[in-house]
Every structure is written in C-alpha cells, then in structure tokens.
Amino acid sequence: MPHINLPPGHSPGISGLLMYRPETAHPLRELVEILLLGPSTLTPGEREIIASSVSWWNNCHFCHTSHGAAACVHLGRGSEFIDQIKACLPDEPLSPKMRALLHVAHQVQRGGKHVTEEDIAQAKQTGATDLEIYDTVLIAAAFCMFNRYVDGLGTWAWPEKERFMEIGEKMAHEGYMRPYIPEKP
C-alpha cells in the first residue's frame, strides 16, 4: 500500500509516482532515457544490467525486476536471466570490462566514497573509457535515488518476475518517456 494517496488505478512501482507529479516525471524520465537508451559504447542490455544489479543490491524489487526484464529483452534472454543478475551473473560470459564496471557500480551503491582509484584503474585496465566509467557511476547513483523513491513511498509490485516481462518489453522497445499502465493484480 503506497504511503501517499496516488490516483485511482495507479500503476506499479515508479509509474504511479510519476503520474502523481508530472512536473517531476518529465526530467526523471528524460534522465533514465538518456542513461539507458541514449548514445553510449555500452549496450542498452549492459546498462540495464547495471541498473538492475544496483536495484538488487538496494533491495528494490520493482526496479531490479523491471530493469532485469528490460535486460532480458535487449539480450534475447528469458525471465530466468533476472535470477542470474541477482546472483551477480557468475555463469555469464561477461567481459572483464563489464565485470569491472559492475564492481564500480557496486561501490557507488555502497556509497560514492567507496569508489577507489584502484577500482577506476582496474576498469581502465580492462578497456573501460572515461565515458563508460562516468555513465556507470551516474546509472548507479541515479538508480540509488530511483530505488529510494519507489520504496520510500511504498509502491506495489508483483512478486513474480514473469509479470515484469511486459514492462521490460515496453522499456526496451518504446523507451521511458511515456507512462506504462498495466492491469493491477
């Protein structure tokens, strides 16, 4: 049950919150659109993995599962991939660069000052560019905010990861600028 009165029939997670206050919704949607789908040498799937991982580490079920579902769509994977993200992708053939960037993202999630010169040097040694490091840090920081926004206002989400695949399809194919309004369970 949300901590504030949202419009009747509000959507799960962040969607209902964005509809509650449209003047803040536009810049938040624009930020996530740029971070996850804008020009980058990191693929949209890789950026969704970062967003989903940070959200998992923050214990934000809605953001972890919805962005994990978007990663599934971008990468042509089934919903079981969401569980792989929870497990830190131990069996996935991720590049050393992606593993180093996920480490940087985890350090940001713990607190910005946890990112060390050694973490950045390791990422650069694996081929990460300054822009990829910048984007990783900003995605991680932004998702810490989004996770606290969603959970701090007590929004609802389905327990089953399979229910999120429709949201993942919409985010992957249509982007983040338009509201998503599913049926409530």
Instruction: Give residue 185's pLDDT.
Output: 47
Structural domain harbouring 122: 26-32+42-174
Do the domain assignments include residue 12?
A: no
pTM: 0.93
Do the domain assignments include residue 10?
A: no
pLDDT (tens digit, 9 = 90+) per residue, 5-18?
887 766 778 888 88
Number of domains composing the chain: 1
State the chain's mean pLDDT as an integer. 92
Do the domain assignments include residue 74?
A: yes
What DSSP string describes the chain?
--SS-PPTTPPTHHHHHHHH-HHHHHHHHHHHHHHHHSS-SS-HHHHHHHHHHHHHHTT-HHHHHHHHHHHHHHHT--THHHHHHHTT-TTS---HHHHHHHHHHHHHHH-GGG--HHHHHHHHHTT--HHHHHHHHHHHHHHHHHHHHHHHTT----S-GGGGHHHHHHHHHH-SSS-------
Do the domain assignments include residue 97?
A: yes
pLDDT (tens digit, 9 = 90+) per residue, 127-158?
999 999 999 999 999 999 999 999 999 987 77
Mean pLDDT by 10 residues, the chain (185 residues): 77 83 93 97 98 97 95 96 94 96 98 98 98 98 97 84 87 85 52
Instruction: Give residue 181's pLDDT.
Output: 58
Do the domain assignments include residue 179?
A: no
CATH number of the domain that residue 78 is part of? 1.20.1290.10
Do the domain assignments include residue 102?
A: yes
Do the domain assignments include residue 61?
A: yes
